[in-house]
């Protein structure tokens, strides 16, 4: 960790369900890293999947962060504030502008395949490039903009935690989506554009999002988005359900259920301290921060793959 970097990062949940322990552990880790380094955190909720982004899930995010004491420097403090000021729907023109820039590079193509057709053509969910050379005209409804990933010859991410990691886009996310069938920007575009727009320079996320980081690096390379290319990345291990140390049952309950019990909050901090490998029992956020400040390097290995 470099001490001379002013970290600007974000909590970036998707409100498609109630928060689970994995989400909250990622928030706590982000909060600790930022508060130790005098950085800033923005709460940025990805509500572009309008059908799934329900009011109660957005409220759950804001409430849970508040209950746990995970304060942030920018972002909504209520669902109304979120809808009025911070929703991704407020930035659709911005996303479209970047999609237009990508279209002008000649790397995009329009795809008319259904999910079923993709499965039948590839035997998996990976898109085999069916429409790559069909030159289907853009700006139609019910089509998907994809990007030609054939030019990617190995992509390396310099991860703060794990060093150099190779991302295999050709196998993991070939021809990934830029603009979805419903006309909305894909997660990759919306996340990247927001990171640029809000001057995010430090991205903390689970290792499951490594292919997404690769996809976003590719787009950032194409559009020469230097701030994103210079960002630091920190991909942490995921919390797995069923890990003996952490959860007694096969599936952990939603966090709001844990927090409804008298000892719930202390239990979450204790489970978190076990997850990152702290030797002592820590039951408050303040204690966690003081122990984290002393021993960050010691338990970094615990967070790796």
Residue number with CB closer to Zn ion (131 or 282): 131
Q: Which of 113, 147, 155, 167 binds Zn ion (CB under 5 A)?
A: 113
65 binds Zn ion (CB under 5 A): no
Structure tokens at 207: 């290792």
Residue number with CB closer to Zn ion (7 or 131): 131
Q: Compute the least distance from the CB of residue 111 to Zn ion, in Å.
A: 3
Residue number with CB closer to Zn ion (3 or 137): 137
How far apart CA 139 and CA 100 sit, in angstroms, is: 11
Residue number with CB closer to Zn ion (131 or 303): 131
Candidates 127-135, 163-171, 239-247, 280-288; binding stretch for Zn ion (CB under 5 A): 127-135
Residue number with CB closer to Zn ion (39 or 128): 128
Candidates 51-59, 68-76, 107-115, 222-230; binding stretch for Zn ion (CB under 5 A): 107-115
131 binds Zn ion (CB under 5 A): yes
Q: Compute the least distance from the CB of residue 120 to Zn ion, in Å.
A: 12
What's CA 261's distance to the chain center, in Å? 29
111 binds Zn ion (CB under 5 A): yes
Candidates 10-18, 96-104, 128-136, 158-166; binding stretch for Zn ion (CB under 5 A): 128-136
239 binds Zn ion (CB under 5 A): no
19 binds Zn ion (CB under 5 A): no
Residue number with CB closer to Zn ion (31 or 109): 109
Residue number with CB closer to Zn ion (179 or 236): 179
- Residue 262 makes CB contacts below 8 A (sequence gap 6+) with none
Q: Compute the least distance from the CB of residue 223 to Zn ion, in Å.
A: 23
Q: Which of 67, 130, 221, 296 binds Zn ion (CB under 5 A)?
A: 130
Structure tokens at 169: 């886009």
267 binds Zn ion (CB under 5 A): no
Candidates 16-24, 65-73, 124-132, 200-208; binding stretch for Zn ion (CB under 5 A): 124-132
Q: Which string of DSSP letters, residue by residue, matches the chain?
A: --TT---EEEE----SS---HHHHHHHHHHHHHHHHTT-EEEE-----STTT--HHHHHHHHHHHHHHT---SBS-SSHHHIIIII-GGGGHHHHHHHHHHHHHTT-EEEE---HHHHHHHHSSSS---TTTTT---SS-TT-EEEE--TT---EEEEETTTEEEEE-HHHHSTT-EEE-TTSPBPHHHHHHHHHHHTT--EEEEEGGGHHHHHHHHHHHHHTT-HHHHT-EEEEEPPP-TT-TTT-SSSSPPPHHHHHTSTTHHHHHHHHHHHHTT-SS---SHHHHHHHHHHHHHHHHHHH--
Number of residues binding to Zn ion, judged by CB under 5 A = 4
Residues that bind Zn ion (CB under 5 A): 111, 113, 130-131
């Amino acid at each position: 960790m470099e001490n001379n970097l002013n970290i600007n990062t974000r909590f970036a949940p998707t409100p498609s369900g109630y928060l689970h322990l994995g989400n909250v552990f990622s928030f706590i880790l982000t909060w600790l890293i930022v508060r130790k380094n005098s950085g800033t955190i923005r709460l940025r909720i990805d509500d572009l999947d309008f059908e799934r982004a329900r009011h109660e899930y957005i409220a759950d995010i804001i409430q849970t962060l508040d209950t746990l004491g995970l304060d942030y420097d920018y972002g909504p403090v209520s669902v109304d504030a979120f809808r009025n000021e911070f929703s991704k729907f407020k930035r659709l023109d911005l996303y479209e502008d970047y999609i237009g820039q990508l279209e002008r590079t000649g790397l995009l193509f329009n795809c008319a395949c259904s999910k079923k057709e993709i499965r039948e053509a590839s035997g998996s969910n990976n898109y085999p490039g069916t429409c790559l050379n069909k030159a289907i005209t853009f700006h139609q409804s019910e089509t998907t903009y994809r990007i030609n990933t054939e030019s990617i010859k190995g992509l390396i991410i310099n991860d703060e935690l794990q060093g150099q990691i190779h991302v295999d886009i050709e196998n993991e996310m070939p021809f990934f989506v830029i603009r979805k069938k419903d006309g909305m920007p894909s997660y990759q575009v919306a996340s990247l554009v927001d990171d640029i727009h809000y001057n995010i320079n430090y991205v903390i996320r689970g290792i499951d999002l490594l292919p997404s980081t690769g996809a976003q690096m590719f787009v950032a390379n194409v559009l020469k988005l230097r701030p994103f290319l210079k960002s630091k990345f920190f991909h942490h291990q995921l919390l797995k359900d069923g890990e003996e140390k952490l959860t007694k049952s096969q599936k952990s309950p939603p966090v709001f259920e844990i927090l409804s019990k008298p000892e719930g909050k202390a239990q979450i901090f204790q489970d978190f301290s076990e997850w990152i490998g702290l030797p002592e029992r820590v039951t408050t956020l303040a204690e966690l921060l003081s122990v984290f400040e002393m021993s960050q390097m010691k338990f970094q290995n615990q967070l790796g793959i």
